[in-house]
Amino acid sequence: MLDNLIQKSGALAVAVGLAFGVGTAVLGTDANTGAERLLAHAADHHKKGGDYLPITRIQPMYPKRALAEGIGGYVILEFTVSKDGTVAGDTIKVLEAKPEGYFEASVKKAAAQFQYKPKTKDGVAQDTKGVRYRFHFSLGDD
């Protein structure tokens, strides 16, 4: 799966991991040396076994109602990364949302489109339950 994604993409979205939540950086064609090292590391990591790695993160749409009312906030989701690297929509759960009722639908839709290099053990892909991601919404002045 990782090899197919690499071959089909001119730029690879690579996630920069944090203990809780993840930001995204894009490596383009002018960063080939760094991208090649990162991809070689990911391929080696996959062969030996290891934890899941984010490949693609989709930014949620800022809900119109929240925008019109000038509201920012955050949502924390928990989900399962399947052994094929996708996030099954039925596993996405809202753990916390502040304020409630504004951002939950938007972040669930975005998270359902995330792609991962799945966790492996002895070269066999595994499901990873309990993955958490925090989405922040800000209008820039809060």
What ranges do the domains of the chain cover? Answer: 2-137
Q: Write down the pTM of the prediction.
A: 0.66
Digit-coded pLDDT (tens) for 19-40? 234 332 222 333 344 555 555 6
For residue 42, what is the enclosing H or E element? helix 32-48
Distance CA 28, CA 115 (A): 18
> Among 108, 80, 115, 82, which Cα is nearest to 94's?
108
Domain 2-137: assigned CATH number: 3.30.2420.10
Digit-coded pLDDT (tens) for 58-109? 999 999 999 999 999 999 999 999 999 999 999 999 999 999 999 999 999 9
User: Can you tell me whether residue 19 is helix, strand or coil?
Assistant: coil
